[in-house]
Amino acid sequence: MGDDERRAVGPTPEDSAWTGPRHRSGTGRGRPRPRRRRPPAAEPVAEATERAPEASTAPTHDPSTGGASTVDAATGGAAPADTARGATASSSRASDETPVDAATVEAASVDVTTADTATVDKAPADKAPADKAPADKAPADKAPVDKAPVDKASADTATVDAAAAVAGDRPGETGDPAPPSPATGEAPGTARARVAPGTPPAPRKPGAPRVPSTASVSPAGAVPATTSAPVARRTRAVGKAAVPAVAVPTVPNPRVPVDSAVPAAEEHTWLDEEAGPVVRPYTLTGGRSRPFTSGLNMLTYVEALYAPDADLVGLQPEQRAILEMTRTATTVVELAARLDLPVGVVRVLVGDLIQANLVSTFEADAAVRAPGDDILQAVIDGLRAL
């Protein structure tokens, strides 16, 4: 009987996925669960390892753009993961938009110029202005070349450009979190996007101020190409990250945002019984610690006044569970035990249900008067029969 009941009721708290993880903090969290934020960060890392050679080759290709690459190497500490990501970005761009390749490569090369100049500007301030100038111009010149006669843009130049793109994306995106090119407007966006999924912070911060000027040099047509690809990527990444947070609050309940913390809690394996519930118990009641009605004893029976057409929209999952459990009269204390909620919280929740005319309550006979002899005899018999 007890088992039946348990089985009958068991699923509700389990299924509802609210009560389980939140209050029974120890149950779901013991097993290692991948953090949701990891995947977006982990993938690029994997790619980073894959593309590491590519990234490493970048400097070797770079000499085409002049002393800038050496400056790159000098400023060196750029996060390899990010460079790889830049590589993936460029490669994906290339694969996605083969016809636009010229534009993207061009834009990448423009990036290179901006980035390189930025780094060059920063690092060897007075060393090679002469070198710098041709370096700036060279890609700029190259860009139109790529653009107009595609035939000229041989595979070699393409690779060089791609490598340049790698090199260019690296400082441009990782190094300048703030304002690399307000003029074009894409770089801050990309920078933010990179930061958002939790990329390792770039150790290097090339001086940004010069960049806008070089960015302004970049042909306007190239900008959308680069922006479009990172934007698409960014939204995807953001979408991934945002899904767990956004998934829950479809219920028009003001308290639901509190509940939406549950999936977030599931991510963290460090939360356990010791840490206590993620959601403090009385957040379920909106901070109320006193029920709407008085006289809800621990052993007060609650029984659902089941109305099939009842408006259950505004109810919390816990209250729905209570309605489910109280199809047969159940005591407050048992509701609390099965929901794994403090008795006081259940009192408040039940009080709301009473107010909504969804349940009725009555006192157990024993609470009103001393149990009769027949009942005691029944208990004795029952205990003996156990």
State the amino acid at position 32 in one-letter form: P
> In this structure, what token pair is assigned to residue 296?
């809800």
SS3 string, 239-284, reads HHHHHHHHHCCCCCCCCHHHHCHHHHHHHCCCCCCCCCCCCCHHHC
Rounded Cα distance between 121 and 268, Å, is 44
Q: Which of 74, 299, 307, 312 binds other proteins (CB under 8 A)?
A: 299
Q: Which of 338, 349, 352, 353 binds other proteins (CB under 8 A)?
A: 338
Rounded Cα distance between 51 and 87, Å, is 7
- Binding of residue 263 to other proteins (CB under 8 A): no
In the block, residue with structure tokens 């048992």 = 334
> In this structure, what token pair is assigned to residue 16?
């509802």
Shortest approach of other proteins to residue 293 CB, angstroms?
Answer: 12
Helix (H) or strand (E) segment spanning residue 363? strand 359-363
Rounded Cα distance between 239 and 331, Å, is 45
Q: Which of 195, 305, 356, 367 binds other proteins (CB under 8 A)?
A: 367
Report the C-alpha dihedral over residues 274, 278, 280, 281, rounded to 10 degrees.
Answer: -80
Nearer to other proteins, 128 or 329 (CB): 329
- Binding of residue 74 to other proteins (CB under 8 A): no
With the C-alpha atoms ordered 363, 365, 369, 371, is the resulting torsion angle positive or negative? negative
- Binding of residue 285 to other proteins (CB under 8 A): no
Shortest approach of other proteins to residue 270 CB, angstroms?
Answer: 20
Shortest approach of other proteins to residue 308 CB, angstroms?
Answer: 21
State the amino acid at position 120 in one-letter form: V
- Give the CA distances from residue 115 to residues 9, 230, 357, in Å, rounded to whole numbers and listed in that order: 63, 17, 68
Number of chain positions touching other proteins (CB under 8 A): 45
Q: What is the gyration radius of the CA atoms in the chain, in angstroms? A: 32
Stretch that binds other proteins, among 91-99, 125-133, 175-183, 356-364 (CB under 8 A): 356-364
- Binding of residue 18 to other proteins (CB under 8 A): no
Nearer to other proteins, 26 or 221 (CB): 26
Nearer to other proteins, 57 or 360 (CB): 360
Stretch that binds other proteins, among 31-39, 189-197, 239-247, 362-370 (CB under 8 A): 362-370
Q: Which of 112, 336, 348, 349 binds other proteins (CB under 8 A)?
A: 336
- Binding of residue 363 to other proteins (CB under 8 A): yes
> In this structure, what token pair is assigned to residue 50?
């894959």
8 Å CB contact between 99 and 197: no
- Binding of residue 373 to other proteins (CB under 8 A): yes
Stretch that binds other proteins, among 100-108, 148-156, 243-251, 374-382 (CB under 8 A): 374-382
Rounded Cα distance between 126 and 122, Å, is 10
- Binding of residue 8 to other proteins (CB under 8 A): no
Residue 53: other Cβ atoms inside 10 A? 11
Shortest approach of other proteins to residue 334 CB, angstroms?
Answer: 7
Nearer to other proteins, 6 or 137 (CB): 6
8 Å CB contact between 181 and 168: no
> In this structure, what token pair is assigned to residue 125?
């301030």
Q: Which of 52, 231, 264, 298 binds other proteins (CB under 8 A)?
A: 298
Rounded Cα distance between 228 and 186, Å, is 9
Stretch that binds other proteins, among 11-19, 64-72, 251-259, 341-349 (CB under 8 A): 341-349
Q: Which of 301, 322, 325, 351 binds other proteins (CB under 8 A)?
A: 301
Shortest approach of other proteins to residue 271 CB, angstroms?
Answer: 16
Q: Which of 116, 169, 186, 334 binds other proteins (CB under 8 A)?
A: 334
Binding site for other proteins (CB under 8 A): 1-2, 6, 23, 281-282, 289, 297-299, 301, 329, 331, 333-334, 336-338, 340-345, 362-368, 370-371, 373, 375-384, 386
